Amino acid sequence: FYLSLKREEKKGKLQKQICQVVLDHFEKQYTAELGDAWSSVREVLTSPQCWQHALLLNRFSQCPGLESSLAEQGFHPAFPAALPYLPAAFRCYVRPAPVRFPAQKHQPGTLKGYYLLNAASLLPVLALEVKDGEDVLDLCAAPGGKAVAILQCACPGHFHCNEYDDLRSRWLEQTIESFIPDPLINLIMVSKLDGRQIGALQPEVYDKVLVDAPCSNDRSWLFSADPQQAVLRLTQRKELSSLQFQLLRSGIRALRPGGSLVYSTCTLSKAENTDVINLILNSCRDVMPVDISAMARGVSQEFSFLSGTQQHELLVLPEKGRAWGPMYVAKLKKVSST
């Protein structure tokens, strides 16, 4: 066992080689966009050993003694009760020291007790504020962590989880099967539609829409194993904002008047974050920004944010001891029918 563990450690180290071409690209872009903040962010992003993992507990699976065990190991609740929206069943634990809790394997017919994730990825869910009975669309749902988190918060009337990519769609289905019991699964529709078309296919159907858009994932791109693939990714990077804009516009069209939409990415890139939201606000007359600064203030002990953002957006910056993110979140509301 010890030898196999050492082999896994060695394998992990081999796989975690920094891709220089990506780092050079980020160095130029993020020095310009983030200023002095980039050096500390870069230190975390290039040091996987200091990355942290949170545990989102599954309310549908009882694990006796888990919470007391987590407390003994130095874990504490990630989100304070003072947040504008924090359902009682939503329980997430973190600890300052970077330790990875053991993952649970997928076993058909058995629900997992917790989901390991970057704690910042739960902020879009808390910003969405889903309530019981609402019709919800998760436009780009794989691998399924945010869908699982939404179902920890409320029981939607109808929950549509969409994932265009075939492989990622199967991953999504497995995640749902691992965390959600049968009666509730019947309320979930998993589709493999082009997210850009859903708004036209289902106009004004949903109360809440989450657009967790495909983006240039800074953490994984920095460790691209194939330099040629990395160069291709960087070449195609500028096309992502167009896709994100189209997905957002589709999500807005699928939203009922009065409904809310949350847009999120896991990149620091201004072109994929603030610029996309500004383009939507300038081109869509039926949406308005929603202030999420109260949520940001409420979690400021656990997360570090880029200063100078608008009240309807936030950008989580990874830093040592709070190595969450990157995660961009923006919230919009539909004010009238198109």
pLDDT at position 336, please?
74
Q: Per-residue confidence at 237, pLDDT binned at 50, 70, 90? A: very high
Q: Is residue 3 part of a domain?
A: no
Taking only the tens place, the pLDDT of each residue in 95-150 is 988 877 888 888 888 999 999 999 999 999 999 999 999 999 999 999 999 999 99
Q: Is residue 149 part of a domain?
A: yes
Check the annotation: does 74 bind a ligand. no
pLDDT at position 99, please?
76
pLDDT at position 302, please?
95
With a cut of 80, say whether residue 12 has pLDDT above it.
no
Q: Is residue 14 part of a domain?
A: no
Q: What share of the chain is helix, strand, coil (3-state, %, to 5)?
A: 40, 20, 40
With a cut of 50, say whether residue 181 has pLDDT above it.
yes
Q: Is residue 105 part of a domain?
A: no
Check the annotation: does 145 bind a ligand. yes
With a cut of 70, say whether residue 25 has pLDDT above it.
yes
d(CA 147, CA 145) in angstroms, rounded, equals: 5
pLDDT at position 279, please?
98
Q: Is residue 241 part of a domain?
A: yes
Lowest mean pLDDT among 206-215, 220-229, 286-295: 220-229
With a cut of 90, say whether residue 15 has pLDDT above it.
no
pLDDT at position 337, please?
55
Taking only the tens place, the pLDDT of each residue in 44-98 is 999 999 999 999 999 999 888 999 999 999 999 999 999 999 999 999 999 988 8
Check the annotation: does 146 bind a ligand. yes
pLDDT at position 272, please?
98
- β-pair partners for 319: 322
Q: List Cβ neighbours of 81 (8 Å cut-off, separation of 6 or more).
A: none
Write out the residue range of the structural domain in which residue 62 sits: 20-97+112-334
d(CA 1, CA 23) in angstroms, rounded, equals: 36
Q: Is residue 122 part of a domain?
A: yes
Q: Is residue 298 part of a domain?
A: yes
Check the annotation: does 141 bind a ligand. yes
**Within 10 A of 273 (CB to CB), how many other CB atoms are there?**
29
Q: Per-residue confidence at 5, pLDDT binned at 50, 70, 90? A: very low
Q: Per-residue pLDDT averaged across 221-227, rounded?
A: 90
d(CA 158, CA 24) in angstroms, rounded, equals: 45
With a cut of 80, say whether residue 22 has pLDDT above it.
yes
Taking only the tens place, the pLDDT of each residue in 283-300 is 999 999 999 999 999 999
Q: Is residue 148 part of a domain?
A: yes
d(CA 228, CA 223) in angstroms, rounded, equals: 13
Q: Per-residue pLDDT averaged across 11-22, rounded?
A: 71
Taking only the tens place, the pLDDT of each residue in 150-173 is 999 999 999 999 999 999 999 999
Regarding pTM above 0.75, the answer is yes
pLDDT at position 224, please?
87
DSSP for residue 316: E
Check the annotation: does 88 bind a ligand. no
Percent above pLDDT 90 for the chain: 85
Taking only the tens place, the pLDDT of each residue in 247-279 is 999 999 999 999 999 999 999 999 999 999 999
With a cut of 60, say whether residue 7 has pLDDT above it.
no
Domain count, the chain: 1
Catalytic machinery residues: 266
With a cut of 80, say whether residue 11 has pLDDT above it.
no
Residue with tokens 């993110």: 325
143 prior amide bond cis, ω within 30 = yes
**CATH classification of the domain holding 205:** 3.40.50.150
Check the annotation: does 35 bind a ligand. no
